[in-house]
Amino acid sequence: MGLDIAMEDAMANVAEAAKVRDSVGTAIELRPFRAGDGEAFRVLNEAWIEKHFGLEAKDRETLNDPERKILAMGGHIFMAVDGDTAVGCCALLLLRPDVYEVAKMTVAESQRGRGLGRKILAYTIAQGKALGATSLYLETNNTLHDAIHLYEELGFRHLPPERVTPSPYARANVFMDLVF
């Protein structure tokens, strides 16, 4: 019974949106994924992946149906919205009951340099904690220097090779976690 109440409280926290200001003072809403956000989530992610690497089969599978491939599997998607325009996003993929993977984090190219990536990641970390996660995991690529630096600044640490499990992404060659 107590666990059910704790989970309801955590889900209520996850359902709350947050208003933040970017580095130029624009009000940005950070909120959970809503019906109709799928296209923006796909477009935002395809843009950065294509720019740096090229889409992989796993990307297409997830981005074409985030409701089924992320949300229905116990994960969460968070959107950064400026008015009616999605300007960023990040997902938490459920790995185990107390561990989530931070994935599909991006900010629209036109919005970069405004501190949104940091705000989206901090919001996502807070939501992971509210959900009862004991740790967050992520995979990235060593060419994404700014992203890696941001992850390190917010507490993620590099995993030693013996703790890395095979990734479904060919581009993944940096593995990190954040333990609460």
The number of folded domains in the chain is 1
pLDDT at position 22, please? 61
Question: pLDDT averaged over consecutive 10-residue blocks of the chain (180 residues)?
Answer: 40 60 76 97 98 96 97 98 96 97 97 94 97 98 97 97 92 97
Predicted pLDDT of residue 49: 97
- Give the structural domain span for 56: 2-179
| pLDDT score for 14 | 54
pTM: 0.88
DSSP the chain: -HHHHHHHHHHHHHH--EEEE-TT--EEEEEE--TT-HHHHHHHHHHHHHHHT---HHHHHHHH-HHHHTGGGT-EEEEEEETTEEEEEEEEEEEETTEEEEEEEEE-GGGTTSSHHHHHHHHHHHHHHHTT-SEEEEEE-TT-HHHHHHHHHTT-EEPPGGGPPPPS-TT--EEEEEE-
Which pLDDT does position 11 carry in this prediction?
Answer: 44
pLDDT of residue 161: 86
Give me the pLDDT at residue 144, please.
97
pLDDT of residue 24: 59
pLDDT (0 to 100) of residue 27:
87
CATH code of residue 39:
3.40.630.30
Query: In this predicted structure, what is the pLDDT of residue 16?
Result: 63
AA identity, residue 123: Y
Residue 19: the pLDDT is 73
